[in-house]
């Protein structure tokens, strides 16, 4: 049984990003179908996998990280409109029996991701 998980690291402050809202969508053709929402904990992770077992299907998904709101809540002075605000990561799940870990490294000016283990 595979699972989908994430981890958000605030590289501006050198710490896990606690309190980041994450929206999860399944992409069906041209439509985004909302299938979940989570908020990161003190370790920058979600308390449970975003999807696991039969809920993780082959297909295309999108995670939307509310990074701008996170940095504003931390008291970071941000110009309007925010340079990095909501980060939409669209990715494919080809093997739902495997684990898909999608970490996010973020500052108010840049972000990166990779497929973790």
Q: 1 in helix, strand or coil?
A: coil
Q: 34 in helix, strand or coil?
A: strand
pLDDT in tens, 94-114: 999 999 999 999 999 999 999
pTM of structure:
0.96
Average pLDDT rounded to a whole number, residues 40-51? 98
Burial class from Cβ neighbours inside 10 Å (0-12, 13-18, 19+) for residue 23 reads: middle
Q: Is residue 115's pLDDT more than 90?
A: yes
Domains of the chain: 3-108 (2.60.40.180)
Q: Is residue 1's pLDDT more than 90?
A: no
Average per-residue pLDDT in the chain?
97
- Confidence band (pLDDT; 50, 70, 90) for 92? very high
Average pLDDT rounded to a whole number, residues 67-88? 97
- Confidence band (pLDDT; 50, 70, 90) for 70? very high
Q: Encode 29-46: b = buried (16+ Cβ within 10 Å), e = exposed.
A: eeebeeebebebeeebbb
């Amino acid at each position: 049984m595979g699972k989908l998980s994430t981890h958000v690291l605030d590289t501006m402050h050198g710490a896990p990003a606690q309190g980041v809202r994450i929206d999860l969508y399944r992409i069906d053709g041209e439509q985004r179908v909302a299938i979940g929402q989570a908020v990161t904990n003190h370790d920058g992770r979600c308390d449970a996998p975003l999807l696991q077992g039969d809920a993780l299907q082959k297909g295309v998904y999108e995670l939307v990280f509310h990074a701008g709101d996170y940095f504003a809540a931390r008291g970071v002075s941000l110009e309007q409109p925010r340079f990095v605000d909501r980060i939409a990561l669209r990715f494919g799940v080809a093997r739902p029996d495997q684990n898909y870990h999608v970490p996010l490294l973020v500052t108010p000016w840049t972000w990166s991701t990779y497929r973790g283990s």
